[in-house]
């Protein structure tokens, strides 16, 4: 169950975690079927619209903040990435 409001109907909720700063966040993947590199991973920290971090699939090879790396791993494990 999500902890925070997220208004993108294209996103798939992956779960909630507590990050290394002891902040609760909801993790999402937003798959772009037309451009796989445009797939995004989101960590939402509150209901406030701007209180999130995100990255695109093309950035996954780089060092990511822990919540986004976990979102990638969860989405990959669930077969959501092509």
The DSSP annotation for 68-80 comes to HHHHHHHHHHTT-
Residue 8 has pLDDT above 80, yes or no: yes
**C-alpha to C-alpha distance for 24 and 9, rounded to whole angstroms:** 22
Q: Structure pTM? A: 0.89
Backbone angles phi, psi at 22, to 5 degrees: 65, 30
CB distance 71 to 41 below 8 Å: yes
Q: Which residue has the higher pLDDT, 31 or 37?
A: 31
**What is the percentage of the chain residues whose pLDDT exceeds 70?**
99
3-state secondary structure of 51: coil
Residue 35 has pLDDT above 80, yes or no: yes
Q: What is the pLDDT of residue 30?
A: 95
At 51-82, the pLDDT tens digits run 999 999 888 777 778 899 999 999 999 999 87
């Amino acid at each position: 169950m999500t902890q925070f409001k997220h208004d993108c109907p294209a996103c798939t909720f992956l779960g909630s975690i507590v990050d290394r700063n002891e902040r609760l966040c909801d993790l999402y993947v937003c798959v772009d079927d037309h451009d796989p590199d445009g797939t995004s991973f989101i960590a939402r920290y509150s209901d406030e619209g701007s209180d999130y971090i995100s990255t695109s699939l093309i950035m996954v090879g780089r060092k990511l903040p822990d919540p986004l790396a976990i979102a990638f791993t969860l989405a990959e494990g669930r077969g959501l990435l092509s």
